[in-house]
Amino acid sequence: MTNSFNTLPLDPKILENLVTLGFLSMTPIQEKALPMILQGDDLIAQAKTGSGKTAAFGLGILNKLNIENKALQSLVLCPTHELAEQVAEEIRRLARFTKNCKVLVICGGTSEHQQLNSLEHGVHIIVGTPGRVLKFLKKGAINLNSIEFLVLDEADRMLDMGFREEMEAVAAFTPRVKQSLLFSATFPPEIEELSRLFQKNPKRLSVDSQHEKNAIKQIFIEVDEHREKLVALNNLLGQYKPQSTIIFCKTKQLCADVAKALLKQGIAALAFHGDLDQNERTVVLTKFSNKSCLVLVATDVAARGLDVKDLEAVVNFDLPTNAEVYTHRIGRTARAGKIGLAFSFFVAGEKYKLLEIEEYTGNRNEFLNVNSLSTSSQFNLKAPMKTMYINGGKKEKMRAGDILGALVNEAGVAAEDVGNINIFEKQSYVAIRSHLLEGTVAKLLEGKIKGRRFKVGEA
Protein backbone atom coordinates (compact mmCIF):
# COMPACT_ATOMS: atom_id res chain seq x y z
CA MET A 1 0.00 0.00 0.00
CA THR A 2 1.83 3.08 -1.27
CA ASN A 3 -0.09 5.49 0.94
CA SER A 4 0.48 3.51 4.13
CA PHE A 5 1.84 5.35 7.17
CA ASN A 6 4.66 2.79 7.49
CA THR A 7 6.25 4.21 4.33
CA LEU A 8 7.13 7.31 6.37
CA PRO A 9 10.02 7.79 8.82
CA LEU A 10 7.72 7.78 11.87
CA ASP A 11 8.64 6.54 15.34
CA PRO A 12 7.77 2.79 15.69
CA LYS A 13 5.56 3.54 18.74
CA ILE A 14 3.56 6.03 16.71
CA LEU A 15 3.16 3.53 13.86
CA GLU A 16 2.05 0.84 16.31
CA ASN A 17 -0.58 3.17 17.77
CA LEU A 18 -1.86 4.13 14.30
CA VAL A 19 -2.59 0.45 13.64
CA THR A 20 -4.57 0.14 16.89
CA LEU A 21 -6.55 3.27 15.92
CA GLY A 22 -7.42 1.79 12.54
CA PHE A 23 -5.37 4.35 10.58
CA LEU A 24 -4.46 2.00 7.74
CA SER A 25 -3.87 4.49 4.94
CA MET A 26 -3.28 8.22 4.65
CA THR A 27 -5.89 10.73 3.50
CA PRO A 28 -4.81 12.95 0.55
CA ILE A 29 -3.74 15.83 2.83
CA GLN A 30 -1.71 13.43 5.00
CA GLU A 31 -0.09 11.80 1.99
CA LYS A 32 1.01 15.17 0.58
CA ALA A 33 1.76 17.10 3.77
CA LEU A 34 3.42 14.56 6.07
CA PRO A 35 6.61 14.02 4.00
CA MET A 36 7.11 17.80 3.90
CA ILE A 37 6.40 18.19 7.61
CA LEU A 38 8.70 15.31 8.59
CA GLN A 39 11.60 16.76 6.60
CA GLY A 40 11.21 20.08 8.42
CA ASP A 41 9.63 22.30 5.77
CA ASP A 42 7.39 25.24 6.53
CA LEU A 43 4.02 24.55 4.94
CA ILE A 44 1.00 26.53 3.76
CA ALA A 45 -1.82 24.13 2.95
CA GLN A 46 -5.35 24.53 1.68
CA ALA A 47 -7.58 21.83 3.14
CA LYS A 48 -11.12 21.77 4.50
CA THR A 49 -12.18 20.64 7.95
CA GLY A 50 -12.50 16.86 8.10
CA SER A 51 -9.71 16.18 5.59
CA GLY A 52 -7.37 14.65 8.19
CA LYS A 53 -5.12 17.70 8.60
CA THR A 54 -5.10 17.42 12.42
CA ALA A 55 -3.42 14.03 12.21
CA ALA A 56 -1.00 15.42 9.60
CA PHE A 57 0.41 18.14 11.83
CA GLY A 58 -0.20 16.12 15.03
CA LEU A 59 2.00 13.27 13.81
CA GLY A 60 4.69 15.75 12.76
CA ILE A 61 4.65 17.33 16.23
CA LEU A 62 4.76 13.98 18.06
CA ASN A 63 7.50 12.52 15.87
CA LYS A 64 9.80 15.41 16.77
CA LEU A 65 8.78 15.58 20.43
CA ASN A 66 11.48 15.15 23.08
CA ILE A 67 9.47 13.77 25.98
CA GLU A 68 12.38 14.20 28.41
CA ASN A 69 12.43 17.93 27.76
CA LYS A 70 9.77 19.49 30.02
CA ALA A 71 9.75 22.79 28.10
CA LEU A 72 6.91 23.75 25.77
CA GLN A 73 7.78 22.46 22.29
CA SER A 74 4.69 23.07 20.12
CA LEU A 75 1.90 25.64 19.90
CA VAL A 76 -1.29 25.14 17.87
CA LEU A 77 -3.66 28.11 17.46
CA CYS A 78 -7.35 27.45 16.64
CA PRO A 79 -10.32 29.78 16.09
CA THR A 80 -12.64 28.35 18.77
CA HIS A 81 -12.61 26.60 22.12
CA GLU A 82 -14.48 23.64 20.59
CA LEU A 83 -11.95 23.11 17.81
CA ALA A 84 -9.05 23.47 20.27
CA GLU A 85 -10.55 20.73 22.45
CA GLN A 86 -11.06 18.50 19.40
CA VAL A 87 -7.50 19.06 18.16
CA ALA A 88 -6.04 18.40 21.62
CA GLU A 89 -8.06 15.21 21.97
CA GLU A 90 -6.89 13.99 18.55
CA ILE A 91 -3.24 14.65 19.45
CA ARG A 92 -3.73 12.76 22.74
CA ARG A 93 -5.15 9.81 20.79
CA LEU A 94 -2.17 9.84 18.44
CA ALA A 95 0.14 10.00 21.49
CA ARG A 96 -1.40 7.08 23.40
CA PHE A 97 1.82 5.04 23.15
CA THR A 98 4.00 8.09 23.94
CA LYS A 99 4.21 8.01 27.73
CA ASN A 100 3.81 11.22 29.73
CA CYS A 101 3.04 13.41 26.74
CA LYS A 102 1.31 16.49 28.17
CA VAL A 103 -1.17 18.38 25.98
CA LEU A 104 -2.95 21.41 27.43
CA VAL A 105 -5.86 23.47 26.08
CA ILE A 106 -5.55 27.23 26.71
CA CYS A 107 -8.82 28.99 25.83
CA GLY A 108 -11.20 31.58 27.19
CA GLY A 109 -14.41 30.53 28.90
CA THR A 110 -12.62 28.32 31.42
CA SER A 111 -10.72 28.94 34.65
CA GLU A 112 -7.46 30.86 34.19
CA HIS A 113 -6.31 29.61 37.58
CA GLN A 114 -6.54 25.96 36.56
CA GLN A 115 -4.75 26.62 33.28
CA LEU A 116 -1.96 28.54 35.04
CA ASN A 117 -1.64 25.73 37.57
CA SER A 118 -1.31 23.15 34.78
CA LEU A 119 1.36 25.25 33.06
CA GLU A 120 3.46 25.25 36.23
CA HIS A 121 3.65 21.43 36.10
CA GLY A 122 5.16 21.45 32.60
CA VAL A 123 3.50 21.05 29.20
CA HIS A 124 4.84 19.74 25.89
CA ILE A 125 2.08 20.93 23.56
CA ILE A 126 -0.40 23.81 23.89
CA VAL A 127 -3.54 24.00 21.78
CA GLY A 128 -5.36 27.29 22.26
CA THR A 129 -7.19 30.32 20.97
CA PRO A 130 -5.16 33.44 20.11
CA GLY A 131 -6.69 35.75 22.74
CA ARG A 132 -6.07 33.59 25.83
CA VAL A 133 -2.63 32.43 24.61
CA LEU A 134 -1.53 36.04 24.06
CA LYS A 135 -2.81 37.04 27.50
CA PHE A 136 -0.70 34.32 29.14
CA LEU A 137 2.33 35.26 27.03
CA LYS A 138 2.11 38.85 28.26
CA LYS A 139 1.84 37.58 31.85
CA GLY A 140 4.96 35.47 31.35
CA ALA A 141 3.00 32.29 32.09
CA ILE A 142 3.85 30.82 28.67
CA ASN A 143 7.39 30.78 27.29
CA LEU A 144 7.79 30.11 23.58
CA ASN A 145 11.60 30.27 23.47
CA SER A 146 11.92 26.49 23.00
CA ILE A 147 9.07 25.79 20.61
CA GLU A 148 9.89 23.89 17.43
CA PHE A 149 6.40 23.93 15.91
CA LEU A 150 3.91 26.76 15.42
CA VAL A 151 0.64 25.72 13.77
CA LEU A 152 -2.20 28.00 12.65
CA ASP A 153 -5.22 25.75 12.15
CA GLU A 154 -8.15 27.18 10.16
CA ALA A 155 -6.30 30.45 9.77
CA ASP A 156 -9.01 31.96 7.57
CA ARG A 157 -11.57 31.46 10.34
CA MET A 158 -9.29 33.18 12.85
CA LEU A 159 -9.02 36.13 10.46
CA ASP A 160 -12.82 36.18 10.01
CA MET A 161 -13.22 36.31 13.78
CA GLY A 162 -10.89 39.31 14.12
CA PHE A 163 -7.84 37.51 15.55
CA ARG A 164 -5.28 38.93 13.11
CA GLU A 165 -3.58 41.25 15.61
CA GLU A 166 -3.49 38.51 18.25
CA MET A 167 -1.96 35.99 15.82
CA GLU A 168 0.70 38.49 14.77
CA ALA A 169 1.46 39.32 18.40
CA VAL A 170 1.78 35.63 19.33
CA ALA A 171 4.11 35.05 16.35
CA ALA A 172 6.33 37.88 17.64
CA PHE A 173 6.97 35.85 20.82
CA THR A 174 8.27 32.83 18.87
CA PRO A 175 11.96 32.16 18.07
CA ARG A 176 13.27 32.79 14.56
CA VAL A 177 14.20 29.15 14.10
CA LYS A 178 11.08 26.99 14.17
CA GLN A 179 8.85 25.05 11.82
CA SER A 180 5.63 26.86 10.91
CA LEU A 181 2.53 25.22 9.46
CA LEU A 182 -0.51 27.14 8.20
CA PHE A 183 -3.77 25.38 7.30
CA SER A 184 -6.68 27.23 5.75
CA ALA A 185 -9.83 26.26 3.83
CA THR A 186 -9.67 29.48 1.77
CA PHE A 187 -6.83 31.76 0.71
CA PRO A 188 -7.80 35.43 1.09
CA PRO A 189 -4.95 37.98 0.64
CA GLU A 190 -4.54 38.23 4.43
CA ILE A 191 -3.40 34.59 4.51
CA GLU A 192 -0.46 35.43 2.26
CA GLU A 193 0.45 38.37 4.50
CA LEU A 194 0.24 36.14 7.57
CA SER A 195 2.47 33.56 5.92
CA ARG A 196 5.13 36.15 5.06
CA LEU A 197 5.16 37.26 8.69
CA PHE A 198 6.14 33.98 10.28
CA GLN A 199 7.12 31.48 7.57
CA LYS A 200 10.31 30.99 5.54
CA ASN A 201 10.08 29.64 2.01
CA PRO A 202 6.99 27.55 2.76
CA LYS A 203 6.03 24.63 0.56
CA ARG A 204 2.50 24.89 -0.79
CA LEU A 205 -0.20 22.35 -1.41
CA SER A 206 -3.94 22.26 -1.96
CA VAL A 207 -6.14 19.29 -1.19
CA ASP A 208 -9.94 19.02 -1.13
CA SER A 209 -10.31 22.78 -1.57
CA GLN A 210 -13.50 22.06 -3.52
CA HIS A 211 -15.87 19.27 -2.62
CA GLU A 212 -15.71 16.24 -4.90
CA LYS A 213 -18.57 16.12 -7.33
CA ASN A 214 -21.25 13.64 -6.30
CA ALA A 215 -19.77 13.24 -2.78
CA ILE A 216 -22.50 15.54 -1.48
CA LYS A 217 -26.00 15.25 -2.89
CA GLN A 218 -27.20 18.88 -2.97
CA ILE A 219 -30.95 19.43 -3.12
CA PHE A 220 -32.78 22.79 -3.22
CA ILE A 221 -36.39 23.12 -2.09
CA GLU A 222 -38.50 26.18 -2.92
CA VAL A 223 -41.15 27.37 -0.45
CA ASP A 224 -43.68 30.15 -1.07
CA GLU A 225 -42.98 31.90 2.24
CA HIS A 226 -40.37 31.63 4.98
CA ARG A 227 -43.02 30.58 7.49
CA GLU A 228 -43.66 27.39 5.49
CA LYS A 229 -40.15 26.13 6.21
CA LEU A 230 -40.94 24.50 9.57
CA VAL A 231 -43.58 22.19 8.10
CA ALA A 232 -41.31 21.42 5.15
CA LEU A 233 -38.41 20.70 7.50
CA ASN A 234 -40.48 18.27 9.54
CA ASN A 235 -41.58 16.46 6.38
CA LEU A 236 -38.00 16.42 5.08
CA LEU A 237 -36.65 14.80 8.25
CA GLY A 238 -39.54 12.34 8.24
CA GLN A 239 -38.80 11.26 4.68
CA TYR A 240 -35.00 10.97 4.86
CA LYS A 241 -34.60 10.17 8.61
CA PRO A 242 -30.95 11.27 8.90
CA GLN A 243 -29.41 10.12 12.18
CA SER A 244 -27.10 13.13 12.47
CA THR A 245 -28.05 16.57 11.08
CA ILE A 246 -26.95 20.18 11.42
CA ILE A 247 -29.56 22.82 10.54
CA PHE A 248 -28.23 26.31 9.85
CA CYS A 249 -30.35 29.35 10.73
CA LYS A 250 -29.50 33.04 10.36
CA THR A 251 -30.33 34.18 13.92
CA LYS A 252 -30.03 32.92 17.49
CA GLN A 253 -33.75 33.35 18.08
CA LEU A 254 -34.62 31.32 15.00
CA CYS A 255 -32.26 28.54 16.19
CA ALA A 256 -34.09 28.38 19.50
CA ASP A 257 -37.52 28.44 17.81
CA VAL A 258 -36.67 25.70 15.31
CA ALA A 259 -35.13 23.45 17.98
CA LYS A 260 -38.19 23.91 20.20
CA ALA A 261 -40.56 23.08 17.32
CA LEU A 262 -38.61 19.92 16.48
CA LEU A 263 -38.65 18.77 20.10
CA LYS A 264 -42.44 19.08 20.09
CA GLN A 265 -42.46 16.71 17.10
CA GLY A 266 -40.46 14.11 19.03
CA ILE A 267 -37.17 14.90 17.26
CA ALA A 268 -34.09 14.96 19.48
CA ALA A 269 -32.86 18.50 18.71
CA LEU A 270 -30.80 21.15 20.52
CA ALA A 271 -30.00 24.79 19.69
CA PHE A 272 -26.38 25.95 19.43
CA HIS A 273 -25.74 29.69 19.27
CA GLY A 274 -23.69 32.54 20.68
CA ASP A 275 -25.82 33.12 23.78
CA LEU A 276 -24.80 29.79 25.31
CA ASP A 277 -22.03 29.91 27.89
CA GLN A 278 -19.01 27.62 27.56
CA ASN A 279 -20.41 24.88 29.78
CA GLU A 280 -23.70 24.86 27.86
CA ARG A 281 -21.83 24.69 24.55
CA THR A 282 -19.77 21.76 25.81
CA VAL A 283 -22.86 19.83 26.94
CA VAL A 284 -24.72 20.44 23.66
CA LEU A 285 -21.77 19.36 21.49
CA THR A 286 -21.08 16.34 23.69
CA LYS A 287 -24.71 15.22 23.36
CA PHE A 288 -24.60 15.70 19.60
CA SER A 289 -21.38 13.75 19.16
CA ASN A 290 -22.53 10.85 21.34
CA LYS A 291 -25.98 10.46 19.68
CA SER A 292 -27.99 11.82 22.64
CA CYS A 293 -29.07 14.55 20.25
CA LEU A 294 -29.63 13.85 16.55
CA VAL A 295 -30.24 17.39 15.28
CA LEU A 296 -28.13 20.47 16.02
CA VAL A 297 -29.74 23.80 15.09
CA ALA A 298 -26.93 26.34 14.78
CA THR A 299 -25.88 29.77 13.59
CA ASP A 300 -22.77 30.13 11.40
CA VAL A 301 -20.93 31.98 14.16
CA ALA A 302 -21.53 29.22 16.71
CA ALA A 303 -20.65 26.43 14.25
CA ARG A 304 -17.30 27.89 13.14
CA GLY A 305 -14.44 25.51 13.70
CA LEU A 306 -16.57 22.49 14.56
CA ASP A 307 -15.32 19.15 13.30
CA VAL A 308 -18.32 16.82 13.47
CA LYS A 309 -17.80 13.19 12.52
CA ASP A 310 -20.35 10.99 10.71
CA LEU A 311 -22.71 13.83 9.84
CA GLU A 312 -25.35 12.48 7.48
CA ALA A 313 -27.07 15.72 6.47
CA VAL A 314 -26.85 19.50 6.48
CA VAL A 315 -29.99 21.63 6.12
CA ASN A 316 -29.82 25.30 5.18
CA PHE A 317 -33.04 26.49 6.83
CA ASP A 318 -31.85 29.91 5.67
CA LEU A 319 -29.50 30.31 2.71
CA PRO A 320 -26.16 31.85 3.69
CA THR A 321 -24.97 35.25 2.52
CA ASN A 322 -22.59 33.89 -0.13
CA ALA A 323 -21.53 30.73 -1.98
CA GLU A 324 -18.30 30.31 -0.04
CA VAL A 325 -20.16 30.08 3.28
CA TYR A 326 -22.51 27.60 1.61
CA THR A 327 -19.63 25.28 0.71
CA HIS A 328 -18.26 25.48 4.27
CA ARG A 329 -21.66 24.54 5.66
CA ILE A 330 -22.32 21.56 3.39
CA GLY A 331 -18.70 20.42 3.64
CA ARG A 332 -19.39 19.22 7.16
CA THR A 333 -21.07 16.16 5.67
CA ALA A 334 -19.52 13.59 3.28
CA ARG A 335 -16.39 13.19 5.42
CA ALA A 336 -13.88 10.39 5.01
CA GLY A 337 -15.16 9.35 1.61
CA LYS A 338 -18.81 9.01 2.63
CA ILE A 339 -21.79 10.37 0.70
CA GLY A 340 -23.60 13.27 2.37
CA LEU A 341 -26.91 15.08 1.95
CA ALA A 342 -27.29 18.87 1.76
CA PHE A 343 -30.79 20.38 1.66
CA SER A 344 -31.47 24.10 1.18
CA PHE A 345 -34.77 25.96 1.49
CA PHE A 346 -35.24 29.12 -0.55
CA VAL A 347 -37.96 31.57 -1.62
CA ALA A 348 -38.38 33.02 -5.12
CA GLY A 349 -36.48 36.20 -4.26
CA GLU A 350 -33.34 34.19 -3.45
CA LYS A 351 -32.90 32.47 -6.82
CA TYR A 352 -29.93 34.72 -7.60
CA LYS A 353 -28.08 33.03 -4.72
CA LEU A 354 -28.63 29.65 -6.35
CA LEU A 355 -26.90 30.84 -9.51
CA GLU A 356 -23.91 32.01 -7.43
CA ILE A 357 -23.75 28.63 -5.68
CA GLU A 358 -23.93 26.73 -8.98
CA GLU A 359 -21.13 28.82 -10.45
CA TYR A 360 -18.95 28.54 -7.34
CA THR A 361 -19.34 24.77 -6.85
CA GLY A 362 -19.35 23.81 -10.52
CA ASN A 363 -22.32 21.50 -9.87
CA ARG A 364 -25.74 21.70 -11.48
CA ASN A 365 -28.35 22.44 -8.82
CA GLU A 366 -30.89 19.69 -8.16
CA PHE A 367 -34.41 20.63 -7.07
CA LEU A 368 -37.10 18.86 -5.07
CA ASN A 369 -40.75 19.91 -5.08
CA VAL A 370 -41.82 20.73 -1.53
CA ASN A 371 -45.18 19.00 -2.15
CA SER A 372 -43.41 15.71 -2.88
CA LEU A 373 -42.10 15.49 0.68
CA SER A 374 -43.80 12.94 2.92
CA THR A 375 -46.50 14.44 5.15
CA SER A 376 -46.58 11.44 7.48
CA SER A 377 -45.99 12.27 11.14
CA GLN A 378 -45.24 8.61 11.95
CA PHE A 379 -41.49 8.60 12.10
CA ASN A 380 -38.95 8.19 14.86
CA LEU A 381 -35.98 10.46 15.39
CA LYS A 382 -35.55 9.75 19.08
CA ALA A 383 -31.98 9.57 20.33
CA PRO A 384 -30.67 6.05 20.94
CA MET A 385 -28.43 7.32 23.74
CA LYS A 386 -28.76 9.59 26.76
CA THR A 387 -25.93 11.43 28.46
CA MET A 388 -25.01 11.01 32.10
CA TYR A 389 -22.82 13.55 33.84
CA ILE A 390 -20.35 12.76 36.60
CA ASN A 391 -19.23 15.59 38.87
CA GLY A 392 -15.55 14.73 38.50
CA GLY A 393 -12.98 14.95 35.73
CA LYS A 394 -9.30 15.40 34.98
CA LYS A 395 -8.81 17.33 38.22
CA GLU A 396 -9.75 14.13 40.09
CA LYS A 397 -7.50 12.04 37.77
CA MET A 398 -10.61 10.49 36.23
CA ARG A 399 -9.96 8.10 33.34
CA ALA A 400 -12.29 6.43 30.86
CA GLY A 401 -11.34 3.03 32.26
CA ASP A 402 -12.38 4.11 35.78
CA ILE A 403 -15.81 5.15 34.54
CA LEU A 404 -16.38 2.09 32.38
CA GLY A 405 -15.30 -0.17 35.23
CA ALA A 406 -17.79 1.47 37.60
CA LEU A 407 -20.60 1.21 35.05
CA VAL A 408 -19.94 -2.49 34.48
CA ASN A 409 -19.12 -3.55 38.04
CA GLU A 410 -21.17 -1.14 40.19
CA ALA A 411 -24.17 -0.49 37.92
CA GLY A 412 -24.24 -3.78 36.01
CA VAL A 413 -24.26 -2.10 32.57
CA ALA A 414 -22.90 -4.13 29.65
CA ALA A 415 -19.86 -2.50 28.05
CA GLU A 416 -21.58 -2.53 24.64
CA ASP A 417 -24.38 -0.33 26.06
CA VAL A 418 -21.88 2.43 26.86
CA GLY A 419 -20.97 4.95 24.15
CA ASN A 420 -18.55 7.88 24.17
CA ILE A 421 -16.88 8.87 27.43
CA ASN A 422 -15.78 12.52 27.46
CA ILE A 423 -13.66 13.72 30.38
CA PHE A 424 -13.19 17.45 31.01
CA GLU A 425 -11.49 19.38 33.80
CA LYS A 426 -14.25 19.20 36.42
CA GLN A 427 -16.88 16.88 34.95
CA SER A 428 -17.27 13.87 32.71
CA TYR A 429 -20.04 12.85 30.33
CA VAL A 430 -21.01 9.31 29.37
CA ALA A 431 -23.37 8.12 26.63
CA ILE A 432 -25.60 5.24 27.75
CA ARG A 433 -28.48 3.46 26.01
CA SER A 434 -31.55 5.61 26.61
CA HIS A 435 -33.62 2.97 28.40
CA LEU A 436 -30.77 2.23 30.84
CA LEU A 437 -29.96 5.74 32.05
CA GLU A 438 -32.38 6.10 34.94
CA GLY A 439 -31.44 2.77 36.52
CA THR A 440 -27.73 3.38 35.95
CA VAL A 441 -27.85 6.76 37.69
CA ALA A 442 -29.68 5.26 40.67
CA LYS A 443 -27.09 2.48 41.07
CA LEU A 444 -24.09 4.78 40.67
CA LEU A 445 -25.45 7.15 43.31
CA GLU A 446 -25.13 4.23 45.71
CA GLY A 447 -21.85 2.98 44.24
CA LYS A 448 -18.37 4.37 43.77
CA ILE A 449 -15.98 5.40 41.02
CA LYS A 450 -12.27 5.08 41.84
CA GLY A 451 -13.31 4.26 45.41
CA ARG A 452 -15.17 7.57 45.79
CA ARG A 453 -18.75 8.74 45.57
CA PHE A 454 -19.53 11.32 42.89
CA LYS A 455 -22.69 13.24 42.08
CA VAL A 456 -24.22 11.80 38.90
CA GLY A 457 -27.34 12.52 36.87
CA GLU A 458 -28.68 13.12 33.38
CA ALA A 459 -26.89 15.96 31.60
Cα 171 to Cα 42, 45, 73, 192, 259: the distances in Å are 14, 18, 14, 15, 41
Query: 52: alpha, beta or left, given left = phi > 0 and alpha = psi -120 to 50?
Result: left
Looking at residue 209, its pLDDT comes to: 46
pTM over 0.75? The answer is no
pLDDT tens for 164-193 read 999 999 999 999 889 999 998 878 888 988
In the sheet that holds 456-458, the strands lie side by side as: 418-423, 428-433, 385-390, 456-458
The arithmetic mean of pLDDT across residues 358-385, rounded, is 85
Looking at residue 335, its pLDDT comes to: 64
Looking at residue 341, its pLDDT comes to: 93
Does the pLDDT of residue 379 top 80, yes or no?
no
The arithmetic mean of pLDDT across residues 35-54, rounded, is 88
Looking at residue 86, its pLDDT comes to: 87
Does the pLDDT of residue 78 top 80, yes or no?
yes
Q: How many CB atoms lie within 10 A of CB 251?
A: 11
Looking at residue 176, its pLDDT comes to: 87
What percent of the chain has pLDDT above 70? 95
pLDDT tens for 416-446 read 999 989 888 889 999 999 999 999 999 999 8
The arithmetic mean of pLDDT across residues 330-355, rounded, is 86
* H or E stretch covering 223: none
Looking at residue 126, its pLDDT comes to: 97
Instruction: Let me know: does 121 contact 73? Beta carbons within 8 Å.
Output: no
The arithmetic mean of pLDDT across residues 94-120, rounded, is 89
Domain annotation for the chain: domains and CATH numbers:
5-206 (3.40.50.300), 216-372 (3.40.50.300), 385-458 (3.30.70.330)
- Tell which wins on pLDDT, 259 or 339: 259
Residues forming a β-bridge with 216:
340
